[in-house]
Each structure stands twice: as structure tokens, then as C-alpha cells.
Amino acid sequence: MSTAMKLTEEQLEQIGSYIESNFDRISAKSNVIQLRPYDIQLIERMTRIEEELKTQRELMQFGFNQIDKRFESVDKRFEDVNKRFDDVNKKFVMLMWAIGAGITIITTVITLLTIFAR
């Protein structure tokens, strides 16, 4: 069933040189992709770079979330300060009215005393 051919060294060299000279054409017909060691190194480097970029992206996202939390706490502090200013402003308005009313009452009393003292 199986007949093995005995090939001479010369025939093997002819077959080798034929395959060498037509390797690109033969490999183009087949679906096998031949990668050189340099190509494999490049693919490995690209994979590592993609993983590093993914890690950097996750770290940046974490950092942005921390910054957002910090801004929220600062906003709360500003709201507290604004409430304090509103309270002080209300007290100042009340004080202005009290001073105005006091001056009006004193002026009225002095005027009445001057009128009735004659």
C-alpha cells in the first residue's frame, strides 16, 4: 500500500530550493500565516501596551471619581458658608432697622421735648 521513495541528496536539495524560491506563492495559497520572531515580539509588545493602557484608563477613572467626590465635599462647604452669610445678612438688616427705628424715636422725643419745653 505504501511505497516509500528513496530520494537522493541531490533530489532533496532540488525540492528544498524549489520550496525556498516559491515559498511566498505557496504560503499565499494556504491559510497558514508564517510569523517571524520579530513579528511575534511586536505582537507581544502590543499586547503588553494594550494591557498597560487598560490599567492606566482604570486608574484615571478612579482618580476622576476621587476628584468628583472632593468637589462634592467642597460644594457642601460652600453651601454652609452661604447659609452663614445669609444669616449674618438677616441679622445686619434687623440691626439696620433697629438703629433706624432708634434714631427715629430719639429724634421724635427730642423734637417733642423741644416743642413742649418752650
Buried b (16+ CB within 10 A) or exposed e, 71-82: eeeeeeeeeeee
What one-character-per-residue DSSP string does 36-62 give?
A: -HHHHHHHHHHHHHHHHHHHHHHHHHH
Kindly indicate the confidence band of residue 1, based on its pLDDT and cuts at 50, 70 and 90.
very low
Tell me the pTM: 0.42
* pLDDT of amino acid 24: 74
Cell of 82: 452661604
Encode pLDDT of 89-117 as tens digits. Answer: 999 999 999 999 999 999 999 999 999 88
* pLDDT of amino acid 89: 92
Q: What is the three-class DSSP state of 14?
A: helix
104 burial type by CB count under 10 A (0-12 exposed, 13-18 middle, 19+ buried): exposed
The residues, any chain, with a CB within 8 Å of residue 26's CB and separated by 6 or more, are 19
More confident residue, 5 or 93: 93
Encode pLDDT of 16-56 as tens digits. Answer: 888 888 877 776 666 666 678 888 888 899 999 999 999 99
